[in-house]
Amino acid sequence: MIAIIDYGVGNVGSILNMMNYIGIPAIVTKDYSEIRDASKLILPGVGSFDQAITLFNKSGLKELIDEKVNNEATPILGICLGMQMMTQGSAEGELPGLGWFEAKCIKFKFDGTLHGRQKIPHMGWNDITPVNSGTSLFKMIDQELKYYFAHSYHITGAEKYSIATASYGYDFTVAIKNGNKLGVQFHPERSHMFGVNLFKSFSEI
């Protein structure tokens, strides 16, 4: 059973709907026992960094999830802000992140040249390119991979963890992996068959 962590932030309903569509057993929960017994976890997130971290820390689940992820090696997938929370912190706020990845989050900054006049936030469909071991999570459809993005901040300093990149004014990391810990900047629950394939791959880990 995959537990979609409900700490007050994130598109939990959309993620559950996608899981139900695929036929993957999953629940949206903040129940200690259900999360403790889950075989995999999903950490969603939307909104601002400090608000999300504050709600997560107040949920009473942080110690349990740390135990499952860091000591029991339970696979976890962070989505959008959920992935950013796995880092050391973000320029969007002042609070520390979970520190599972030696990386930080910064706001898009463009230089005004032809390829640097993009709008912020980065919103809509974009191609991604798997790198390193990313091919185990991403499956090609007609030789392309497209996912839906909605964000103003992105991860930096995560090159050794990077399993996929995209370009928006410049290249940046959109998916990371460190053992059982995975994160994606985009929204697979809003990415149609590309998202279906990603969730299937995660469920098979």
**How far is Cα 142 from Cα 158, in angstroms, rounded to an integer?**
29
Closest C-alpha to 151, from 77, 81, 53: 81
Tokens of 91: 């320029």
* Catalytic entry in 92, 151, 187, 192: 187
**How far is Cα 86 from Cα 103, in angstroms, rounded to an integer?**
9
Tokens of 153: 């901040």
Q: What would the DSSP string read from start to end of 118-159?
A: --SSEEEEEE-EE-TTGGGT---BTTB-EEEEEESEEEES-G
* Catalytic entry in 92, 105, 122, 189: 189
List helix spans (H) across the chain.
12-22, 32-37, 49-58, 62-66, 81-85, 192-203
* Catalytic entry in 80, 92, 105, 154: 80
> Does the annotation count 189 as an active-site position?
yes
* Cβ atoms of residues 174 and 132 within 8 Å: no
> Does the annotation count 34 as an active-site position?
no
* Cβ atoms of residues 15 and 79 within 8 Å: yes
> Does the annotation count 105 as an active-site position?
no
> Which residues are catalytic, by number?
80, 187, 189
